[in-house]
């Protein structure tokens, strides 16, 4: 299905490419009345399927143990007693049968199950590819040097080249994990390295360290268990030979210095710009109410808690949902609060509720479904060509490790609001909120009140009431900060490595 959706957005009827192992097969796409079709003979060849013309403008396709019956003029594919609906009917042209492009996607899945995915960027289908070989890329600054560690899944041949202000590491047959950041800019850390970049070549990976001090010394070596290549950058004059490879583990743990920095709260006022959010019976807009509460909360938190506050929007601007998580993650926020006002269908509902990401979006079944849906092979069987797709999934799973903390934050926020409102506590809930999905920190979404009922709208329009809500949220943030510092204090120093 996804194959179809993507293809239907493209007007040019290009060929699609199928990679089966090392083999590449191109299938031309036939555009007809705005829909896209594939010639059956070529599709069957790519799938190693057989087919036979039957009388009455029907055709039967055999794939593995199943057979599929198609008829001209009917969008249904019949397998045994089961009928599957296609986006269009197959056509019998003079040149032979053409079938809707989604039949291909369906049959691919039938044949290869999970081991198949659709690479949107490159417009190709890949089947049964190998695993990536470069697992992670990390760095840490020490008192006298900065160490970059490239962790591998298997030993790779490598070489390097030094230039005035950069060094290039070439990993033969390297294949970058999609989780590796393509570009990392390092602030501080003695300024030995400014930028670390990772690039994927056709059959190699390249790691570039740039912005190096021309007066430096570099040491590159391989280690085992796990396989990794280590690059140490020293200021010239420091004794390079002091750190021997065998001492690496000891060095890494003993110098994990804690650098205290203020905690960062990300406030996300919902909607904005062209997206008004919910609108009250007399026209009060959710986007204005939540921005006002968000800005009030920012001021209180900055003034009183010594925290840094990052706003996903400071004014009436439209910020796409996807960007909100990105703003929070880029700012390396410590926790995330999305502020909304609720609406129901007939304006009957009232109260306040706080959501954190549902277990559904984080459970293993959902993860598998997500992977299946994005046509990406499961586990480590990832090819760089599908990296973009997989990255989306991994990014979306970012909340996984923060569920407990998010649930705690939701509880504290909900209790905070409960203290200032007499009634209407709807409790904490879970649901797959888009805005929370990619946030890599404890994150909740609070619906402070219903704007859709007249009384709720009247209250939200009152400055004093909004101030009350803002102060309640502030006290909750203050409480969570205490809890968070207590719990995370030990871990914090190692966060950026």
Partner 1 sequence: MKTSHGRILTLLVLIGVLSATLAYQIWMRRTTLPLPPSPGPGLSSPSLEPKRSVRLFFASADEGSLQEEMREIKAGAVHEEAKMALLELIKGPGSELVSPLPPGIQLRQLYIDGQGIAYVDFGPALRDLHPGGSRAELLAVYSIVDTLAYNFDQVKRVKILIEGSEIETLAGHIDLRRPLKPRVDFDERS
Footprint of partner 1 (CB under 8 A) = 1-2, 5, 8-9, 83-85, 87, 106, 109-110, 270-271, 275-279, 286, 321-322, 340-346, 348-349, 355, 359-361, 365-366, 369-370, 372-373, 396, 407, 426-435, 437, 445, 447, 450-452
| Minimal distance, residue 17 CB to partner 1, in Å | 22
Grouping H, G, I as helix, E, B as strand and the rest as coil, residue 351 is coil
The number of beta carbons lying within 10 Å of the beta carbon of residue 72 is 14
Q: Nearest approach, Cβ of 410 to partner 1 (angstroms)?
A: 8
Which lies closer to partner 1 via its Cβ, residue 31 or residue 168? 31
Q: Which two tokens stand for residue 463?
A: 């400055």
Smaller CB separation from partner 1, 405 or 447:
447
Alpha-carbon separation of residue 213 from 150, 170, 194, 210, 449 (angstroms):
21, 21, 9, 9, 55
Q: How far is the CB of 129 from partner 1 (least distance, A)?
A: 21
Considering the complex, what minimum distance in angstroms separates the CB of residue 170 from partner 1? 37
What are 440's two structure tokens? 């890599």
> What gap in Å lies between CA 356 and CA 404, rounded to an integer?
10
422-425: which pairs have CB atoms within 8 A and are 24 or more residues apart? 423/351, 424/350, 424/351, 424/352, 424/449, 425/351, 425/352
Locate tokens 């809890």: which residue? Answer: 483
Give me 266's structure tokens.
Answer: 């990300």
The minimum distance between CB 319 and partner 1, in angstroms, equals 11
CB of 408 to partner 1, least distance (A): 12
Q: Which residue has the tokens 């030995």?
A: 192
CA–CA separation, 469 and 459 (whole Å): 11
Task: Kindly tell me which of 106 and 204 has the beta carbon lying closer to partner 1.
Answer: 106
Nearest-angstrom CA–CA distance, 183 and 166: 14
Nearer to partner 1, 232 or 353 (CB): 353
Q: Count of CB atoms within 10 A of residue 351's CB?
A: 16
Select 155 or 427, whichever has its Cβ closest to partner 1: 427
Which has the closest alpha carbon to 329: 343, 347, 315, 310?
Answer: 310
Which residue, 186 or 437, is less far from partner 1 as judged by CB? Answer: 437
Question: In angstroms, what is the minimal distance from the CB of 469 to partner 1?
Answer: 17
- Helix (H, G, I), strand (E, B), or coil: what is residue 478? helix
Comparing CB distances to partner 1, the nearer of 25 and 279 is 279
């Amino acid at each position: 299905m996804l194959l179809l959706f993507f293809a239907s957005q493209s007007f040019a009827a290009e060929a699609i490419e199928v990679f089966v192992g090392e083999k590449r097969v191109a299938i031309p796409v036939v555009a007809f009345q705005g829909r896209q079709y594939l010639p059956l003979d070529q599709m069957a060849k790519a799938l190693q399927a057989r087919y036979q013309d039957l009388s009455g403008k029907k055709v039967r396709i055999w794939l593995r143990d199943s057979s599929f019956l198609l008829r001209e003029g009917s969008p249904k594919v019949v397998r045994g007693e089961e009928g599957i609906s296609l986006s269009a009917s197959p056509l019998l042209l003079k040149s032979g049968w053409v079938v809707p492009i989604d039949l291909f996607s369906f049959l691919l899945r039938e044949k290869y199950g999970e081991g198949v995915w659709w690479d949107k960027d490159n417009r190709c289908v890949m089947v049964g590819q190998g695993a990536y070989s470069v697992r992670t890329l990390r760095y840490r600054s020490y008192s006298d040097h900065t160490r970059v560690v490239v962790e591998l899944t298997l030993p790779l041949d490598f070489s390097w080249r030094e230039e005035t202000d950069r060094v290039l590491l070439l990993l033969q047959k390297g294949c970058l994990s999609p989780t590796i950041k393509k570009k990392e800019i390092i602030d501080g850390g003695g300024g030995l390295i400014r930028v670390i970049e990772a690039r994927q070549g056709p059959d190699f990976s390249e790691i570039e360290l740039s912005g190096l001090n021309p007066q430096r010394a570099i040491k590159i070596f391989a280690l085992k268990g796990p396989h990794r290549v280590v690059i140490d950058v020293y200021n010239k004059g420091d004794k390079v030979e002091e750190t021997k490879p065998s001492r690496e583990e000891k060095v890494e743990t003993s110098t994990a210095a804690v650098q205290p920095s203020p905690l960062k709260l990300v406030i996300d006022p919902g909607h904005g710009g062209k997206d008004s959010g919910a609108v009250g019976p007399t026209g009060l807009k959710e986007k204005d109410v939540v921005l006002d509460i968000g800005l009030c909360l920012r001021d209180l938190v900055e003034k009183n808690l010594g925290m840094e506050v990052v706003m996903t929007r400071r004014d009436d601007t439209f910020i796409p949902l996807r960007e909100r998580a990105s703003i929070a993650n880029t700012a390396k926020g410590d926790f995330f609060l999305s502020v909304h006002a609720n609406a129901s269908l007939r304006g009957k509902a009232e109260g306040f509720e706080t959501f954190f990401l549902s277990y559904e979006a984080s459970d293993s079944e959902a993860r598998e479904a997500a992977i299946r849906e994005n046509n990406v092979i499961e586990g480590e069987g990832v090819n760089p060509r599908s990296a973009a797709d997989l990255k989306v999934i991994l990014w979306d799973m970012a909340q996984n490790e923060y569920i407990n903390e998010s649930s705690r934050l939701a509880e504290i926020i909900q209790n905070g609001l409960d203290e200032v409102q007499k009634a209407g506590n709807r409790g904490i809930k879970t649901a797959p909120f888009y805005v929370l999905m990619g946030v890599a920190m404890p994150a909740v979404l609070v619906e402070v009140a219903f704007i859709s009922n007249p009384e709720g709208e009247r209250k939200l329009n009152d400055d004093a009431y909004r101030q009350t809500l803002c102060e309640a949220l502030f006290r909750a943030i203050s409480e969570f900060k205490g809890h968070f510092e207590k719990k995370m204090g030990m871990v914090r120093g190692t966060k950026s490595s």
